[in-house]
Amino acid sequence: MNEIKANLILDAKGLACPMPIVKTKKAMTTLEAGQVLEVLATDKGSTADIKAWAGSTGHQYLGTLEDGDVLKHYLRKSSGEEATERKHPNVATNEELITKLQNNDNIVVVDVREAAEYAFDHIPNSLSIPMGELESRLNELNKEDEIYVVCRTGSRSDFAAQKLAENGFTNVINVLPGMSQWTGETKNINN
């Protein structure tokens, strides 16, 4: 197989979400338009995260190659006009979601973290749809439902909320800051 030439190689091995994205954002600022960044990562969720981040910023996600346990993600920097990061406009705080849950409001909570993250700590009755599976599982959700999207820090859930809105979901809310600071009720693999 031919080696892919990258203008810059970023080592994000051993880092968990959101750090591969944080480092990718910073590395992208050092590149010129059209140059290619190779991101080395071991976090299995990084493929969906980096692909979604590229889509939301206008940068081009070229693809991912696996080299043993290392994922090699390739991104092409877009010109400045293309690269303005979007954010999902509808957000709620953890506390607002806790209130909705306590009031038994008719809402759906979608957790887009990886299955292992969900297993060890999640909001009761939330639906686990990892970011990388979201597009193929849209049919599990009702476009009219009030959907609260949660992840660890609000980054993946932002991408997921954008993806849902792009697919015709009209009442989607990104929960900030997400499970990293969640103080409400949780369930886990042990209970």
What are the residue numbers of the active site?
A: 17
Do the Cβ atoms of 179 and 151 come closer than 8 Å? yes
SS3 of residue 47 by DSSP: helix
> Residue 137: how many CB atoms within 10 A of its CB?
13
Do the Cβ atoms of 88 and 174 come closer than 8 Å? yes
Task: Using CB atoms within 10 Å of the CB of residue 32, give its burial: 0 to 12 exposed, 13 to 18 middle, 19+ buried.
Answer: exposed
SS3 of residue 34 by DSSP: coil
